[in-house]
Structure 1
Amino acid sequence: MMPLVQRRPTNSTIDTIVARLQPVADIAPLSDQSVGLATYEDVIGAFTSDQPQQGRGEPHSHSGLVEHITPEFAREAAALLDAGASYFFQIRAVGGAVSDVDPGATAYAWRSANFSVAALGTRASGLDRYWERIVPHLQGLYLSFETDQGDDVLGRAFPPSHLGRLRELKRRYDPTGLFRDNFFISPDGGAD
């Protein structure tokens, strides 16, 4: 078998990395290989743009939290489904122990919500249009199921006090926006 590195570097960290990777390299012949040290920023920068992700592409999804399934909410959810605007619609129970945590203790503030609602579809299916009719029945949202971006979405995801704390953490620990490839929160409070 061909070794991962032809000549042994003097750097003991690289030696350790090579020793750990060699069993993988021995599985099959390698056509090319190299080992090098890089910072997290170097690695992420090699595969992403300088801009935060923009929530584009499919599937397109929306998220929200609701305290109670009211007749008005149910009517709008049924309209969305009847129109075929969503090929996946989920209502998940989130109450219980979640509501035992102080709403100010974490970034997830909407502790009184009993249900999480998520819908996947496409922009062409009309998901946005029907979802806008559901939004007035929601309190907050769970960002992992939301593809839209912007200040209005951040405002639904985080109460002002929570968003302020998150921006302060970004200013302190990530002022350059290195961690930008999920839902981006700008440290300066400008357009996200």
Structure 2
Amino acid sequence: MTTAMARVPNSLTGQIVTPGDRRYAQLRSTYTTSASPAAVLLPKTTAQVIDALRYAREQRLPIAVRSGGHGFSGASSNNGGVVIDLSMLNRVQVLDERAGLVRVEAGARWANVAKALAPYDLVISSGDHGNVGVGGLATGGGVGWLVRAHGLTIDRVRAVEVVLADGTLVRADAEHEPELFWLVRGAGAGAGIVVAFEIEAAEQRNVGVAQLVVEAHPDGRTIREWAAYLSQAPRELSAAAVLYAEGRSALMSITAVVAAESLRRARPAVEPLLAIGKVLEHRTDLLPYPTLVPTAHLHPNVGQQRGTTTNGLFTGLDDAVARAVMRAVTGPGRAVIQLRSMGGAVNDVAPDATAYSHRHQDTLVIASVFPPQGGAALDAAWRAPGARADGAYVNFESRPNPAAFARIYPGETGARVRRLWKRYDPDGVFRPALLTGQPTRPGQQGRVGQSSRSGQPGRSGQPHRRRR
């Protein structure tokens, strides 16, 4: 039932997008999920984020917060609710060039961050696609192209600016609001709206980039040898591989990145990968870091990549796991499997230093299926390797629920995350589906009404729900 209508704050005039607005088609959805929110708010400043949050709460509709909208869960939009879209809060500022300290607003995309830092010969290891938004990745973890050399993105965060559920703006770092600072680095989805990060970038201009395609042996030996080498390789080397079926066999497409300024240093780190299987394609180049997350990646997110994804963290991939992964790729479900190298600098950090506690594993395995395959096919394909997993990563889980929460935030880490989400958001404004397992359902429509007097949106008596 629609009740009295709330007036849009003057500061947000022209920055609310509703169905019928020509901008709505490109703002309604995420990369993986089509959605139909009642309104999308586009704040440009922190003060406007506070106004947008206050307005959204007055509507009593589900609330989602979006930085980029690439997230597999689709939680950065909703059906019938209000989306606070941070894409116009996107400034990148070098605060201290010598120390590499950079302030990055949450709505920036990583392609723009890399481009802005390139003149300073600075880099932030930040995922593998330039269109990913800063906020979602830098509050969940951040497994980037230089992860073994420089750690997760959250490991380089030195301070955050957060708008809490009650509209309070808080700066948190190791000395000020340390509990909030701990929470935001790995479990930021239930903490508030992070509007900016101060990140210690690394000095780097060029990187060695090797691209290989090898045949993946059906008994799993190719996967096992890939993981075994990466687990003890020089930490300057990070790598990602995609396994996919090719007829009755499977191929493994590898991108290996070396934090080196010359091919003379890069090639020896990559060379052992040439021995793990029959090489079908191979080239190694020295490239500027922004080439890995280029501005060519930038695009609207309109639900174009539907699929179902889950993941697990592993310490070593033994024969049984490697064979199970190969069966997932070549079996009836035809899952696409990604392998991401971990370890190195990631494991230098104490498990209790951040809300990302997985500091001993060396491989992240990600499984996805695409239409017409769905959740049942993924479950069947992932059952055997998933049973051997030792933890999971929040940013590669498309079905958030309490069972996923237990894998992502195990033991005391999970208990602490729950306590702090409750402390900083006692009303559950940003209550993540990891706790409820009840994301906004397709077709659950709400409406931001129009007042003949003010032309401003109204509100409906539904609970707040969802975030990034």
Both structures adopt the same fold (TM-score exceeding 0.5)? yes
State the SS of the aligned residue for 1:184. Answer: helix
Matched, 1:154 2:405: yes
- 1:142 equivalent to 2:393? Answer yes
TM-score after normalising by structure 2: 0.29
Distance change in 2, residues 1:107/1:43 (3 Å): same
Counterpart contact for 1:107–1:162, Cα < 8 Å: yes
Taking the TM superposition and a 5 Å limit, the aligned residue runs for 1:91-110 are 91-110=339-358
Letter in 1 for 2:339: I
Query: Quick one: distance in 1 between partners of 2:322 and 2:54?
Result: 45
Residue 40, structure 1, aligned to residue 37, structure 2 = no
Tell me the equivalent position of 1:113. Answer: 361
Question: What is the CA distance between 1:84 and its match in structure 2?
Answer: 5.2
2:434 is the alignment partner of 1:184 = yes
Q: 1:167 aligns with which of 410, 415, 418?
A: 418
Residue 156 of structure 1 deviates from its aligned partner by 1.1
Amino acid at match of 1:126: A
- In 2, the alpha carbon distance for the partners of 1:77 and 1:66 equals 12
Change (3 A) 1:151 1:70: same
Aligned equivalents of 2:318 and 2:60: distance in 1? 45
119-128 or 160-169, which deviates more: 119-128
Q: Deviations over 1:64-108 (max 9, x none)?
A: 101101111001100000115245311000110000000011111
Look up the equivalent residue of 2:352 and give its one-letter code. Answer: G
Partner amino acid, structure 2, of 1:102? A
In structure 2, the gaps of 5 or more residues are 1-8, 16-41, 65-72, 75-302, 437-468
Contact 1:66 1:115 in 2 (8 A): yes
User: What is the SS of the residue equivalent to 2:360?
Assistant: coil
2:402–2:434 contact (8 Å) kept in structure 1? no
2:77 is aligned with 1:64: no
SS in 2 for 1:175: coil
Deviations 1:94-147 (A, max 9, x none): 110000000011111111110111111142671111211111211000011112
- In the superposition, the TM-score normalised over structure 1's length comes to 0.67
Task: Give structure 1 stretches of 5+ with no counterpart.
Answer: 1-10, 22-34, 187-192
- SS of residue in 1 equivalent to 2:434: coil
Q: Structure 1 residues 160, 93: closer, same or farther in 2, change over 3 A?
A: same
Aligned partner of residue 126 in structure 1, secondary structure: helix
Amino acid at match of 2:403: D
Q: Distance in 2 between matches of 1:174 and 1:133?
A: 37
Equivalent position to 2:382, from 124, 131, 139: 131
Equivalent of 2:338, from 90, 104, 120? 90
Q: Residues of 2 paired with 1:113 and 1:167: CA distance?
A: 24
Q: CA deviation at 1:39?
A: 3.5
CA RMSD for the aligned pairs? 3.4
Map of 1:27 onto structure 2: none
SS at match of 2:430: coil
Distance of aligned partners of 1:47 and 1:63 in 2 relative to their CA distance in 1, 3 Å threshold: farther
Maintained 8 Å contact 2:341/2:364? yes
- C-alpha distance in 1, partners of 2:366/2:57? 29
The structure where helix makes up a greater share of residues is 1
CA deviations 1:16-52 (Å, max 9, x no partner) are x78xx9xxxxxxxxxxxxx99634153478696379x
Partners in 2 of 1:78 and 1:45 — Cα distance?
51
Amino acid at match of 2:337: F
Change (3 A) 1:117 1:47: farther
Letter paired with 2:434 = F
Taking the aligned partners of 1:125 and 1:85, their CA distance within structure 2 comes to 9
> CA 1:114 to 1:168, structure 2 compared with 1: closer, same or farther past 3 Å?
same
- The aligned residue for residue 78 of structure 1 is 326
- Partners of 2:332 and 2:57 lie apart in 1 by 38
